[in-house]
Every structure is written in structure tokens, then in C-alpha cells.
Structure 1
Amino acid sequence: MLRWMLDLKESEVSWIPNKHYSGIYGLMKLTLTKALPADLSKVIVLDTDITFATDIAELWGIFRKFTGEISQVIGLVENQSDWYLGNLWKNHKPWPALGRGFNTGVILLYLERLRRIGWEQMWRLTAERELMSMLSTSLADQDIFNAFIKQNPVLVHQLPCFWNVQLSDHTRSEQCYTEVSDLKVIHWNSPKKLRVKNKHVEFFRNLYLTFLEYDGNLLRRELFGCPSQANPESVRLQAALEELDEDDQCYDFRRERLTVHRVHLYFLQYEYTAAEDGTDVTLVAQLSMDRLQMLEAICKHWEGPISLALYMSDAEAQQFLRYAQASEVLKNRKNVGYHVVYKEGQFYPVNLVRNVALKNANTPYVFLTDVDFLPMYGLYDYLRRTVVQLDMTHTKKALVVPAFETLRYRLSFPKSKAELLSMLDMGTLYTFRYHVWPKGHAPTDYAKWRTATTPYRVEWEADFEPYVVVRRDCPEYDQRFVGFGWNKVSHVLELDAQEFELTVLPNAFMVHMPHAPSFDISKFRSSFGYRNCLNTLKDEFHQDLSRKYGSAALKYLTAQRTA
């Protein structure tokens, strides 16, 4: 429905030739009287390169100054460049405007009055008339707004210029204020953005960067004069928090499960449509800032769609944005969905972050992995073929991708199973965690895998935590497990409880790349209290599993106690 509505609005402006770099989207402001709900009477329209230095409530207050019943319908700041004066270069012919014209980076639209005067028909007639001689717009919607105002000057309410201080090289913006403290809105409306020429540009740049560094959690507090509307979910969470015992040694762990995180889905542009043959597989993983360097390598090893959840602070999200924009590899990949989960609390909510990535995969199957593993070259195509061969549509299988590791930061990645086996024999590679946690992957049966040519089934064993390919509607990760320990184990255990067949793939592999230990694993190793709480959470998980799956789940509790 949303896509259909967007296409409908695009069709209303797509007939207008436009030379502006914003393309058709630069004209969409003209359609707001129809695009927005009919009962919405006023709206403030802002360009994305706007920085506020004051409370936007002040700007809303200006609507009260619009005079007459229908006379003033648009609030704008005068243009601070000479563009509409037509004297920037020889034969420069701008669209008609009233004096210097108006800049549309900040617009107050009185929608109710605009609808009453027939705005849709008026701007269309204006555009059609001027395009007969101008042939195309140069500044998109701004040209049409100005031509309309030239014919209907009484309809505009001119805003003080400090509501849209335009920072391009050839403007009169410095005449807008005597002190920088007078500024309300800063508009970086130059292609050069932060590199414009202005005597106060360093102040503006610092203000902008300070804004980027803000912790968005500051905006979640209740504001004076803005009573919160309690919704059922917040009431439920508050009641659950009140039930927690603050004297419980594991209080911090239990509270973490009830923490609500801000989430920004599709932080960067995402364009991908799953293959229609029903075999498509998305690589699903999560990461924090200290694993960011793995992204380019993963994109080189996996050409299919990827769903990544990134656990970051507001400032780190901006660093990631700059990193992604500077990377040729990441810039050229539009089939990677980046979902930012903003930091909150003292633990890494690893399973919550995994669930965000899992729920936002848009293919029938998912490859559940970690970002510090590189899949073998060609794994994406191999998995799609295997999904068909093993009839994953009609069977409940969890396909195990055998995991290996290297202790070398520079590795000549194996190009085939034969080459990997050779590197195993030479000691360049090892089976994953064989020296510190063999139980985690021993059931994969690496000895059998060496000579296997067909998929083979393995049985669940205590603490088994393989990386698997499953249907997207598989169980979610249990969010009580935070930080380090048992987060993947609990998920595989529930897959087994739901009778997924654990099937090892004979010609698939992945390699773990070395990195410094995480902060959470350091806490696990050094804190008895941490380890004790993890054991408590395990017991509670088993009890919940027994209630959920009945007597069939008792084997997990027995296995845990004898492990």
C-alpha cells in the first residue's frame, strides 16, 4: 500500500522536467495537500540538511501570525543568494520570483487553507505556464513555489531569516544575525556542505557535529508540558519492572530483558527483491563497532542478501555512516539491510540484536552466523541449490555449516574443501574452538565430514551451537541471554525441541577470523557472579522449555546436569 501511494504521488510530478540533483523527490513537496491526511491542518516541511539551534515549538508558534482567513498560506524565508536576481553569470535566466525569491528548505504549509483555495490546480497551472518558456526546473519545487508566489504575493508569510540561514558560498546569510546566538535554523544548502565559505563556519560545523554526537536517549525523557500517553505495552513493562527484586544478585540480568531499545531499521538504502523460485537465503548477523572491519570481507565472500543488526551508540552510528559512505565495497552493495539498535543498559543484548536482524530478513531461508566468520566462496549459490535438493520447503531441517578457525590475521582463504583439508593437516586451520570449547561443535563430527559427499544427520548434544541455515519462521533467540554465554546454545536447543533435523552439509564451510576478545567475555571469565547468574538463567530457561514442550524437553535438563 505504501509503495502504491508513493508511486501515485510520483505520477503527479513526474511530468515536470527537472535538472536538480534531487530528481523527482525534489518535487514531492508540491503534493503534500493530497499526500497527508485530510484532517491535518498544518505541517512544517524541512530539507534533510537542516540543523536546529532552538526548540521547533517556536517555529510552530509562527502559524498564529498568519493573517486573514485564507490570505497567508505559506511561510518562507527570503532567499539569501542572488540566484533569482538573474545576475550570477551571462545569460542566466532563473524562474520568476518576487524580489530575491524564497528558499524552500524550511516551509510552513497551512494545509487547510491551501486546500480551500485549490492549491493543487494553482501550482499545476503555474508550472505548465512557466515550462512553456523555461522548459525545466533548475531548483525543483523551489522554482514552482516562487513562480506561484510571484503571481500571488499576498499568500506568503515571510519568516525572519534566522529561521533558514543558508550556508552556501554566495549568500547574504551573515546579514541575518549580529550574534550567532540569534540563530534558529542552519541550512547546509551547498553541495560543499561543511566546507562552505563563511566567517562563522567553524561554529556552525561544531554545532552540527555536536548534534550528531547527541545520545538519542536524552530525547526519551518526559518533557514538561507534554503528558505521556500510557500505552498497554509501557504499562505492562512498568509492572514487570516493579515485580523485580532489586536485592536479587541477578537483578541486572533480569532488568536487561525488559529494556526497550530504540531501533532504526534500514539505516542505509536497501534495494532487494527475493528470488521468486523460493530458494533465496539471507545471511543474518549482528555486530558492534569493534567488528566493523569485517563487513567488507563478508560482502566479498557472500553475494546474496544480508541482514545486519548493529549495536551502537548514536555517535557510533554516525561513524558507521561515514565508514559505509567511504567504502567502495559497501557503497556498491544495495542488498545489505543495516538495522541500528541503539545502546542502552550495561550488557550487550546479543540475542535481542540477533532477533532484529532475523525478523528483517526478507527471504524464505536464513543463514544464522556471526560477523567474525567468513563463509566459503560460492556458499550462497551452494545453499540455494541445497534448499531444493533437501526439500526444505516440506521438511524441518537445520543445515549445519561446519565452522573452522585460524589464528593468523593474514590468511590465504581456502578456495575448496580439498584446500581446507590440506590447511587443516598443515596446522594453518583448526576445527572451531577445539582447544577451548570442543563441546560447542563436536557433534558436527568433523572426522566424518572429511570424507562425506552427501549431507548427514547428527543428533543434538548438550552445549551444541552450530551455525545453521533454517526457514525464516524458525524460533527467535531467547532474549534473557545477554553478553557472553549460552546465547546460541539456547537457540539450537529450541530448534531441536521443535524437531528440526540437524543436517551437516558436506561441501560447505566457514572460517572464524581472529580478533581481540570482547568486553563481555572478559567479564564472564573474571566474574564469579556473572557465571553464577548465567547458570541461574540456564535453569530457568530449561524450566520454561519444559512447560512449553512438555516431557519431551526433560532430556535437555538431564543433559545439562550431567554435562
Structure 2
Amino acid sequence: MSVSCLQWEKLMRRTQYGDLASFRNRQNVIRRCELLKLGCRPWNLSLVSVIIVTFSNMLLTMLLLQSEDCDTNYTGPADDQQPETNGFTEWNLAVGTSESAVQQQPCIDARDYQQATPESDVLRMDVRLGRWDVRRLYKMFDSVVVGSQYTALSDKYLSCIATQSSVEKLHSLVQVAHYWTGPISIAVFTAGDEDFVVFQEYLSYLRKCYAPIRERVTFSVAMPKARLVNGQPKDAQLPEGLDCLKPEATLNRFVQGQSKAQTTWKTKNVYPQNHLRNLARKNCQTDYVFLTDVDIIPSSNFSDLLNEFLKNSACDKCAYVIPTYELDMRVRFPQNKTDLVRLANKGLARPFHQKVFIHNQYATNFTRWSWDVSTSRGAGDSEIVKSGKVHVSHEVTNFEFFYEPFYVARDTVPAHDERFMGYGYTRNTQVYEMYVAGYEFLVLSPIFTGHWGLQTKKGRPAWRERQNSLNRKLFEGFKKEVFARYNRDPLKMMKRPN
């Protein structure tokens, strides 16, 4: 008959023991009962085990994190060996694997990995990375500096300016950013370390002096394989006495410091326009893209008026053409369409490239576009003209191969073919493919764009014609590919030599 531990205890406490053996028997019984009690509560053992395992894991984790090669007393390299910051972090990753390099490696806390803030002028890029074009001729870096309001503006507006520039023409961005209140994506071409340094300096100047650029513009970078950059981006230290009212003079001051070899290289080598156009366009975050060059300036209140128009647009294959005029350097930028037409009537403004190459913009039909502000045409009384809202003035009905309008379209249009580099056949081949693909070209009013200077053929360098001739030969293969892609030849390009 079994007796419980509790009964045994009560019995033994009432019993008097006169000898040592009896006392020992009593103690053994008590110990066995205590063990039985502990066995009745197995969760006690489980709790103790969990606590032990937890503390063991914590100790092992701390030991693993404390690498043998990590010097906790590391204070950084000597002053004459300071590594260049790369815009991403405040520390430099070890490049070599020598014993001395490993022994001097500092302890890295994940909290030390700090990206450049949106307000920072340091380019968020590692020159050892980047992405190559399909022929590995150019390396590109997306959105290396982003305006503080760029993402918010991309949510607010339906369209984004996608433009491109060499370093020498970046001053034109100032006026563009003041007239266009939406997001702007610009791709900048830099060739070699000298160009890259000037770009960083001028970028700091632009963002310091002009809030619209600091807030609205995102910068991307492209560089040729033949002149890749060696040094990582730095926080440019601007010299004293820079005038925020003189962006062009300030840029010239930076550029003048470049060597003759740098200038010669840029003169002899092609400028990859189409690479840059694609780069700028794909860093826009809006449904529509306004493809321009950096020196094409939008009219007043352009972005807001266009935004209201696009809200009611349901056309997926429409390219909205923006009339572009050259402006005499002596005039002020026209405040509205009426002002622009008045300047044109006085010979102080004219359609873009009218004297240089009339086919460039001829199909836009500038005469038709100007009717609604001419009282002699009797069109000035229409309600939509009085409202000032953006509307379709007319459709392009006389499309021709060399047509190169600046237009707004959904970001689903064909890309610019990157085999065409330099000048000639760069923009018009993309517009031609759009036309073959079935896009309509509709001219908008009353918004417009302007370009400073009445251009003539005398100012065109000989090397542009050489580049044009090379691209003309490439077009022979391009037009066959377009025909095979869409099985259409509306301009009968397959039946005539280029």
C-alpha cells in the first residue's frame, strides 16, 4: 500500500528516534519526497532551461559581434591619409585584404551607415558602380541628387520635364526651374575628373543660390567609358564672392580652369544626346513626360495650366506639341502668347530653327497657332481662348520626316535610339517611330517655349555636319527595323534612299 510523501512526513515528525540509523532513514525519506515533489512540477525545470539558453545565446551573440580583427581603439587614418567620402557613408570600406589592412579595420556600427540627406549637395553615387548602356560605351547613375520637394511634386503634377545638358550649359537650368513649378529630371554629361569637379562645384552653387533647383530638380549623371571618373564625390567648397545673380558668368569661371586637353577631347568626341534623354526621362516619376533640351524655357504658369489639361486627357497615343520660338537677346521673355506673337510680328521672335533648318519645326504650323490672337482672323472671341485654359489648337496634318517638336506625352512612347550620337537624326528618328506607331501630334495653346538667340547657319560648326552624315548612314538600318516592328511605312521611307 503506497503512502504519499505528505503522510510520510507527518508520521515521521510524530515519531521519536533514539538512534543515528533511525535519523538517517528519516532524512533519506524526506529527500526522496522532495525529489518526487519537483518531478510533479516539470515546468520548473523548463523555465530554468529557457533562462539558461537565453543568457547563453546573448553571450554568444556578443562574442560573435566582437570580431578578432576589430580594433575598438581605432580612431581613423592619419590626417594625411584621410579617405575620400563617397556620398553614402562617413567611413570607407576596406579595399585591400592585406594583414595590415585587416588589423587596422575599425569597428563598424550599422548606425554609422548614413545616406546623404535630400538637402545634401554630395552626390549619392559610387563611381565604381553605375549601369552601362547596351554597348558599354557610357556609364549612368540615376538620381544622384534629389530635390527636397521632388517626390511630393511628382505626386501633385501629372508631367515632369525630362531634359539633358553638358556641364557647360547648366546655367540655362536656372530660368527653366523658375518658370516650371513641377518636377524636373535632368541628365548631365561629365567626361573625366576635371568635368566632374566643375559639375560638383556648380551644382553646389545652383542649390545654394536657387530654391527652385534645390527643391524641384533631380540630377542624374552619364559619363563615357573612355573618361570615367576616379575620385568619389565630395562636398564642394565654393570660393568666396560668387554672385547668385550671374549663373552663366559663375559657370564660365569654373569651366575656365579646365585644361586644354579636356576641352579638345570634348570637341572631338560625340555628345550622347539620346543616352541622356532616356536617362532623364526614366528618372521622372510622373505619367507624362515633357521632353526638352536644357535651354528650352517654358512660358509662365506652364506646368499648372498643362496639369489641368492633362487631367481631362484620355488619349494614350497623343503627343501634345509645344510651339517653340527663338527670341532676340534684346527682348524680355514674353509674358503670354499675345506678347510672343507681337514680338514675332516685329521680327524679334521666330519659329525655332526657321533659318537654320526650316523642316525642324515646320509641321507645327505656327501661322495657324497664332490665329487666335489676331483680330483680323476673328478667332479671338472664342470662350476657350478668353479663359486662358490649355486646349488643342490644331492637329499636325503635314507630318514630315525631319520634324522635331518638343512635346508632352505619356511615358510609354518609344525610347530614343542610342546608336544615334552627336547631332543629326537624334530627335527626329524617335518622333518618326512614334508617327509610324500611330501617335497623333496635337498642337497646344496658349502655352509655348522659348530659346534665346536668333540662330543662323553661320554659327554652326563644321563638326556638326560630319556627325550628321554619320548618323544619316545609320538611319538606313533603323528605318528597316521600324518597318519590321510596326509593318507600316506611312512616309514611304522604304521606297526612297535616305
Same fold (TM over 0.5): yes
Q: Could you tell me the TM-score, scaled by structure 2's length?
A: 0.61
In structure 1, the partner of 2:214 is 333
Q: 1:396-411 alignment to 2 at 5 Å?
A: 396-408=317-329, 410-411=330-331
Change in CA separation of 1:60 and 1:524 when aligned onto 2, cut-off 3 Å: same
Distance of 1:301 and 1:404 partners within structure 2? 16
Corresponding letter in the other structure for 2:194: A
Q: 2:138 aligns with which of 246, 253, 261?
A: 261
In structure 1, the partner of 2:223 is 342
* Identical aligned residues as a percent: 24
Query: Structure 1 residues 54-63 or 398-407, which shifts more?
Result: 54-63
* Shift of residue 559, structure 1, vs aligned partner: 8.4
* Shift of residue 258, structure 1, vs aligned partner: 2.0
Corresponding letter in the other structure for 1:388: K
Secondary structure of 2:210's counterpart equals: helix
Would the aligned equivalents of 1:299 and 1:330 in 2 still touch at CA under 8 Å? no
Would the aligned equivalents of 1:262 and 1:342 in 2 still touch at CA under 8 Å? yes
Corresponding letter in the other structure for 1:538: F
Secondary structure of 2:143's counterpart equals: coil
In structure 1, the partner of 2:452 is 513
Corresponding letter in the other structure for 2:285: N
* Shift of residue 324, structure 1, vs aligned partner: 2.3
Matched, 1:417 2:296: no
In structure 1, the partner of 2:118 is none
Distance of 1:424 and 1:46 partners within structure 2? 67
Change in CA separation of 1:42 and 1:412 when aligned onto 2, cut-off 3 Å: farther
In structure 1, the partner of 2:418 is 479
Change in CA separation of 1:371 and 1:304 when aligned onto 2, cut-off 3 Å: same
Secondary structure of 1:338's counterpart equals: strand
Secondary structure of 1:51's counterpart equals: coil
Would the aligned equivalents of 1:542 and 1:556 in 2 still touch at CA under 8 Å? no
Distance of 1:362 and 1:41 partners within structure 2? 47
* Shift of residue 555, structure 1, vs aligned partner: 2.6
Would the aligned equivalents of 1:405 and 1:513 in 2 still touch at CA under 8 Å? yes
* Shift of residue 279, structure 1, vs aligned partner: 5.0
* Shift of residue 440, structure 1, vs aligned partner: 1.1
Q: 1:351 aligns with which of 274, 291, 296?
A: 274
Change in CA separation of 1:464 and 1:64 when aligned onto 2, cut-off 3 Å: closer
Q: 1:309-320 alignment to 2 at 5 Å?
A: 309-313=187-191, 314-320=193-199
Distance of 2:196 and 2:468 partners within structure 1? 31
Q: 1:25-424 alignment to 2 at 5 Å?
A: 50-51=82-83, 56-57=94-95, 61-62=99-100, 65=103, 107-109=106-108, 258-271=135-148, 272-273=150-151, 279-313=157-191, 314-327=193-206, 328-329=209-210, 333-344=214-225, 346-389=269-312, 391-392=313-314, 394-408=315-329, 410-424=330-344
* Shift of residue 506, structure 1, vs aligned partner: 1.7
Distance of 1:468 and 1:494 partners within structure 2? 14
Gaps of 5+ in 2: 1-60, 86-91, 113-122, 227-268, 373-384, 386-390
In structure 2, the partner of 1:30 is none
Distance of 2:358 and 2:195 partners within structure 1? 35
Change in CA separation of 1:108 and 1:52 when aligned onto 2, cut-off 3 Å: farther
Distance of 1:266 and 1:497 partners within structure 2? 32
* Shift of residue 494, structure 1, vs aligned partner: 1.3
Would the aligned equivalents of 2:356 and 2:456 in 1 still touch at CA under 8 Å? no
Secondary structure of 1:395's counterpart equals: coil
In structure 2, the partner of 1:543 is 480
Corresponding letter in the other structure for 1:399: Y
* Shift of residue 42, structure 1, vs aligned partner: 8.3
Change in CA separation of 1:302 and 1:277 when aligned onto 2, cut-off 3 Å: closer
Distance of 2:195 and 2:321 partners within structure 1? 33
Residues 84-106 of structure 1, C-alpha deviations (whole Å, 9 max, x = no match):
xxxxxxxxxxxxxxxxxxxxxxx
Would the aligned equivalents of 1:355 and 1:476 in 2 still touch at CA under 8 Å? yes
Distance of 2:412 and 2:68 partners within structure 1? 42
In structure 1, the partner of 2:400 is 461
Change in CA separation of 1:266 and 1:318 when aligned onto 2, cut-off 3 Å: farther
Gaps of 5+ in 1: 1-33, 66-74, 77-106, 112-119, 121-139, 142-211, 221-232, 238-256
Matched, 1:470 2:409: yes
Change in CA separation of 1:516 and 1:426 when aligned onto 2, cut-off 3 Å: closer
Distance of 2:442 and 2:70 partners within structure 1? 56
* Shift of residue 359, structure 1, vs aligned partner: 0.9
Change in CA separation of 1:444 and 1:288 when aligned onto 2, cut-off 3 Å: same
Q: Could you tell me the TM-score, scaled by structure 1's length?
A: 0.54
Would the aligned equivalents of 2:322 and 2:406 in 1 still touch at CA under 8 Å? yes
Distance of 2:70 and 2:341 partners within structure 1? 64
Distance of 1:332 and 1:285 partners within structure 2? 14
Distance of 1:330 and 1:511 partners within structure 2? 22
In structure 1, the partner of 2:382 is none
In structure 1, the partner of 2:352 is 432
Would the aligned equivalents of 2:404 and 2:427 in 1 still touch at CA under 8 Å? yes
Change in CA separation of 1:263 and 1:545 when aligned onto 2, cut-off 3 Å: same
Distance of 1:46 and 1:292 partners within structure 2? 41
